[in-house]
Structure 1
Amino acid sequence: VSSVLVLAHLLGFCSPVPGPSAAVKGLFSLTVRQVAFSTSLLASGAGHTGPFNTHTNLIFRHVFENIGNAYNPQTGRFTAPVRGAYHFEFYIYGLGHPSHGSGATLMKNEQLICIAFEHQPSHASASSNGVTLLLEVGDVVFLRQWVNTWIYDNTSHHTTFSGHLLFTM
């Protein structure tokens, strides 16, 4: 079969198949970004964050990993570098208090997605939540502390926020 194709090409019956255009080559040269981060609330020491009389954005200062550098430890915001499905999870820890629970919401841009909240009048308590989201390039995900709550963290890193890219789309 190959000799027939060679002969047909030599006799001019076939034209060469053009290669992909520069635009198509550019599409195939995109690399899949590896994106994952894991953080805890306090960079060092121990203490409470809050309570505040308004919802307050949280900044997770201790960075365990920040593969792809999509998490900003100065702002507490994760910015999607590629369109894809991402998974996020967060754990909120609090020391019991009669009038202050512990809680935070996961925000996509300025939209409330889900909440982790616990109120126990004494002893420690913890709550958590997680979600998978389709993000566009530039979408921002962050945690916002619920009004009139306090959150505890120390060198054992009880309060954490993590996320990773599952796959691009």
Structure 2
Amino acid sequence: AWYNLADPSAVGENGDFSFLFLTGAKEDAKFRYNVGLVNASDPLTSITVAIQPFKGNGEPFLNDDGSFLAKIVTLPPAAHLQYVEIFSEQFGLEDVPDDTILKISFLQWTSGSSEPVVGLTVYGTMIDNRTQDPTAILPAFGYPYNVECQWPSTDAKSTGDGTYPRVSRRPVEIPSR
């Protein structure tokens, strides 16, 4: 797996890196939340992804018919797409609490390349509506991602070899679709 890039071919015993999470999402009268998607694949590859909001406890937000809320997006080669106020504008959700999670997952890809390189990265921005100050939200992988390469150990040596205590992090567990 690449650092901060989802890769649909990177699914195995070391984890599933075909999706990314944006955590700490919040949208209400004081804050708005924007989400950007970037097709980081080779210049001949298009990707289709699903964007799904989840509550902080891992439960999905549901449509009126009881199905999971999801937005399906196809990104052509080298595309960048940003959704402004994604919760209210795309999902019809209001007053979204600050523990909301967005899961962005690969659904499929197509390529005219004989050796395709497929990748996706995402970002979030939470913007204060009063001051217009943005806060960047970087993507994360789900459990069992080896967090030592992202969050170093708490000691001064910080070698990352697993012999020193790690920063305590709660892995995000989201049910599969």
Shorter-chain TM-score bucket reads 0.3 to 0.5
**TM-score w.r.t. structure 2 length?**
0.37
Higher helix share: 1
Higher strand share: 1
**TM-score w.r.t. structure 1 length?**
0.39
